[in-house]
Structure 1
Amino acid sequence: MSKIEKLITRFLSEPKDFEWTELKKLLISLGYEEFNSGKTSGSRVKFISKKHADISLHKPHPTPILKKYQIKQIKELLKKEGLV
């Protein structure tokens, strides 16, 4: 099992300690690119794919741990798009 496959499995189990860097790595491996609209975007980040629906979310702060609802929403979207 590759590192990305392990990361996908971990993500799908909806862990309470899934970090922003892990999500970023996961989405990039699935063909997404991170897009931040400059200084005025604040913590709002968009992940864009040419083939799949865009993902918009707030980067968690002050801790890098994603909220439970964020993981669930992204998981649903990735399943709907047939990526996981």
Structure 2
Amino acid sequence: MSHKHINLLRAIFHDPVSGNIHWREIESLLHHLGASVASAHGARFHATLNGCEEFLHHPHQSNVCDKMLIKQLREFLARAGVTPSTYENDA
């Protein structure tokens, strides 16, 4: 995993929740992890990773994700077995 993706994973799991993460970075990370990301209805995207499914909402007014989306993404990744510690030893 690239340092860019590891740093993004750390930012997603860091407290306090970051309000400066761009949607395209999240989408890139999900694809890198092997997730299936398909457009659903409107701004919704259906993501599947390691048997876990989640509907994520693309930001409407900008490409920067709000804190609620980052929290939702954090919970989704944790359910799918993806945490920063999983990949830190590989770096």
Task: Give the TM-score band, short-chain normalised.
Answer: 0.7 to 0.9
Runs of 4+ in 1 over 2 A off after TM superposition: none
Matched, 1:30 2:33: yes
Letter in 1 for 2:42: G
The structure 1 residue matched to 2:20, chosen from 17, 28, 51, is 17
TM-score, with structure 1 as normaliser: 0.80
Residue equivalent to 2:8:
7
Residue equivalent to 2:43:
43
Letter in 2 for 1:7: L
Compute the RMSD of aligned alpha carbons: 1.7
Distance in 2 between residues matched to 1:71 and 1:23, nearest whole Å: 9
Greater per-residue strand proportion: 2
Distance in 1 between residues matched to 2:48 and 2:81, nearest whole Å: 16
Distance in 2 between residues matched to 1:20 and 1:68, nearest whole Å: 12
Residue equivalent to 2:76:
77
Letter in 2 for 1:9: R
Identical columns (%): 26
Give ranges in structure 1 of 5+ residues lacking alignment.
none
Give ranges in structure 2 of 5+ residues lacking alignment.
84-91
Residue equivalent to 2:65:
66
Q: Find the residue that maps to 1:48 and give its secondary structure.
A: strand
